[in-house]
Structure 1
Amino acid sequence: MHSTIVRGQNVFGFFTTVCFAVAALIAASDLLAPRTPRATVAANAVQVVKGRPHYYSTKKEEYAIIRFTMNADFSSLFTWNTKQVFVYVSASWPNSTSSELTNEAVIWDTIITNPSADHLQNIGPAAMKKGRIDLKNVKPKYQITAPSGKLQETDDVVLKVHYNVQPWVGILTWTPQIEFGKWKKLKGGMSKAFKIPAIKKKDTPKKA
């Protein structure tokens, strides 16, 4: 006969095996739900300032403030296994020292929770619009700087929209670079290239 401890271990082992199998099925079910996100983003106004972008900066450097407009629909990313979606916008531009490298910095981000996660389903239809973002000429949360400390008159800057899906069970998934089954690549999500202007100099009074 098995002792009570051995029987308890067998029951616990069987229980964890069943839990793992159920969790694997739940995670795999995400592959059956189509993902068809789309987004448009455009830069509205760009300003370059020279100073300390953060209170902990030890020296003055050039940093850019990029106001932008974004319209996105991430509602297809929300399934019964989606806990929340992390969305962020980045600015990228060619590296001045190497043609193979690209500078990239995040200028804005947000977290969209599932209506079932924050109990908004009972509020009304407005709560079910989760996953849709409509921003017009908003100020960025973060300023961008360059490793060289210089940003003015930088060419070929583009804004990109990214997302990260956090499920209740399973692995994190990021913005796909290729299409996989019913998961489609983000449609749009990149702005037209623009140029960061020079620092606006203050007008000096003319001598009489």
Structure 2
Amino acid sequence: MNTALSRVNSVFAYNLTTLAALAVLVFLSTNFKDKTLETKISVASPKVRFDIERMASGPERKDYGVVKLDIEADLTDLFDWNTKELFVMVIAYYETSKTDINQIVLWDKIIQRGEPAKITLNQAKPEYRFFDDGKGLLGNENVTLQLSWNVIPHVGRLPLVYSNTYQIKFPTNYISGAM
């Protein structure tokens, strides 16, 4: 004869199996959906200035990129019944003589379910400073900006999706004055 503990264990195992099967069905229903969208990103008149920071070894010169971001993206179509939130970011990629791969996150935003998913920024300052640890921005003609996002689901994998790119050519002269 079954004891009360045995019956509780059977009900728990049945419910756990049912929830796992439902989670797999939710994953399969949204996993193969295309998560790419057409977006626009641009920068008007990028500039480079230098900042001197005192380090333990003495003053060191660092390039600081001055950019104003223009972003236009409608990410509403990325939300479905399995999407919890979006993590959207603008990443700058560039090469210098010292390092082959440099990546800097300039701007990011978390868009949760129920919030407006349209992004419109005009002449916006980046949230994070665009520093290079040497003189890698001055005269650099191959800085690429890219808008990308993580679709954070309730169940399933966490894809990182890349959108359109935008090339920046930094000038060969430093500017002075306030940022």
**TM-score category (smaller protein):** 0.7 to 0.9
1:134 matched to which residue of 2?
A: 120
3-state SS of the aligned residue for 2:166?
coil
Equivalent pair of 1:45/1:68 in contact (CA under 8 Å): no
Distance 1:201 1:134 in 2: 29
2:142 matched to which residue of 1?
A: 156
Equivalent pair of 1:33/1:79 in contact (CA under 8 Å): no
1:71 matched to which residue of 2?
A: 72
> In the alignment, residue 12 of structure 2 is paired with which amino acid?
F
* Superimposed CA distance per residue, residues 119-144 of structure 1 (whole angstroms, 9 cap, x where no aligned partner): xxxxxxxxxxx322111111111112
> In the alignment, residue 109 of structure 1 is paired with which amino acid?
D
> In the alignment, residue 140 of structure 1 is paired with which amino acid?
P
1:28 is aligned to 2:3? no
3-state SS of the aligned residue for 2:173?
coil
> In the alignment, residue 70 of structure 1 is paired with which amino acid?
I
1:191 matched to which residue of 2?
A: 166
Question: Any unmatched runs of 5+ in structure 1?
Answer: 119-129, 177-185, 203-208
Equivalent pair of 1:78/1:114 in contact (CA under 8 Å): yes
Q: Which of 118, 143, 146 in structure 1 is aligned with 2:132?
A: 146
Q: Aligned pair count?
A: 174
Distance 1:160 1:31 in 2: 24
Equivalent pair of 1:161/1:190 in contact (CA under 8 Å): yes
Distance 1:52 1:95 in 2: 19
2:175 matched to which residue of 1?
A: 200
2:105 matched to which residue of 1?
A: 106
Distance 1:167 1:139 in 2: 30
Equivalent pair of 2:46/2:168 in contact (CA under 8 Å): no
Alpha-carbon shift at residue 162 of structure 1 (Å):
0.5
3-state SS of the aligned residue for 2:19?
helix
> In the alignment, residue 199 of structure 1 is paired with which amino acid?
Y
Equivalent pair of 1:36/1:76 in contact (CA under 8 Å): no
* Superimposed CA distance per residue, residues 46-95 of structure 1 (whole angstroms, 9 cap, x where no aligned partner): 23233368xxx876522222212111121211112211111110111123
Identity of aligned residues (%): 26
Alpha-carbon shift at residue 155 of structure 1 (Å):
2.1
Alpha-carbon shift at residue 3 of structure 1 (Å):
2.4
Equivalent pair of 1:34/1:76 in contact (CA under 8 Å): no
2:63 matched to which residue of 1?
A: 62
RMSD across aligned C-alpha pairs, in angstroms? 2.6
Distance 1:158 1:34 in 2: 24
3-state SS of the aligned residue for 1:29?
helix
Distance 1:95 1:150 in 2: 5
Question: Any unmatched runs of 5+ in structure 2?
Answer: none
Alpha-carbon shift at residue 175 of structure 1 (Å):
0.6
2:161 matched to which residue of 1?
A: 175
Stretch deviating more after TM superposition (42-51 or 8-17): 42-51
3-state SS of the aligned residue for 2:128?
coil
Which structure has greater strand proportion? 2
1:90 matched to which residue of 2?
A: 91
